Amino acid sequence: MERYAGALEEVADGARQQERHYQLLSALQSLVKELPSSFQQRLSYTTLSDLALALLDGTVFEIVQGLLEIQHLTEKSLYNQRLRLQNEHRGGGAPDP
């Protein structure tokens, strides 16, 4: 009986994942319809389906989150470098060696 319950749960998970894939694919198709026709022609059903699958597994979101963190660190570093350079220029620059 336990095997049967496990099998039913797997089927339900698969059905939920399939439904989510369909929702993402529909949303992507709606977005594509708003693009100029020259771009629409380049985005096949297979490409959109693959993109929806990539969104389903969460990898894309993890990559974007990592890139966002890198961007914030880079911006903070550049801001601090800018402040340091501004202070050097206001103070007459760095002393000669």
State yes or no: pLDDT of 2 exceeds 90. no
pLDDT in tens, 38-97: 999 899 999 999 999 988 888 888 999 999 999 999 999 999 999 999 999 998 555 554
How far apart CA 27 and CA 5 sit, in angstroms, is 33
What pLDDT shows up at residue 91? Answer: 82
State yes or no: pLDDT of 6 exceeds 70. no
CB 54 within 8 A of CB 60: yes
pLDDT in tens, 9-18: 676 788 899 9
State yes or no: pLDDT of 28 exceeds 90. yes
- Tokens found for residue 4: 């049967």
How far apart CA 51 and CA 58 sit, in angstroms, is 11
**The whole model's pTM is what?**
0.54
